[in-house]
Amino acid sequence: MINQDQDTTQNIAYYEELEELINVVGAARNALTDDIVTRVSGTLSEGLILLDRVTRNEGLMQLMRAIDSPDVQRLLIKLSQALPQAAKDSKKMSPASGGLTSAIKLISSPGTQESLKLLSLIGQHMRSKD
């Protein structure tokens, strides 16, 4: 008798869980209005169009392969860390006074020279690939 009562209790619990699952599925079906379906399908369509454009763009694909390099990744990480800091620092700076003395002072800074070297190297490599 006790085993039969336990089986009955387990069956009732099982059917209650099944009923809850059916209610969840029904609620999800009701939530999928035409507007939501339209928006989801539009988003998926736009995503596929974007993916198609990206994969057909040889220059962008080559850039993505270059980004996969550990050296380029380190450079991009440094750049992403430097940009917000530079934006914050530039707000604190007084306007440039101009003139040859200010230009010489800026050029004589080691940071400026390193930046110019990097830009110069990028330019040299861009010209040599043609």
So what's the pLDDT on residue 107?
86
Question: Which pTM was predicted?
Answer: 0.49
So what's the pLDDT on residue 11?
74
So what's the pLDDT on residue 93?
83
Average pLDDT, the chain: 84
CB-count burial class (<10 Å; 0-12, 13-18, 19+) for 43? exposed
So what's the pLDDT on residue 130?
56
So what's the pLDDT on residue 83?
92
DSSP 8-class letter at 99: S
pLDDT in tens, 2-46: 566 666 777 788 888 888 888 888 877 777 676 777 888 889 899
Cβ atoms < 10 Å from Cβ of 72: 13
Residue 92, token pair as written in the block? 């604190």
The predicted model gives 82-110 an average pLDDT of 86
So what's the pLDDT on residue 129?
63
Give dist(CA 81, CA 73) in Å, integer.
12
| More confidently predicted of 29 and 105 | 105
Contacts within 8 Å (CB) and 24+ apart, 52-55:
none
Residues near 66 by beta carbon (within 8 Å), at least 6 away in sequence: 72
DSSP 8-class letter at 36: H
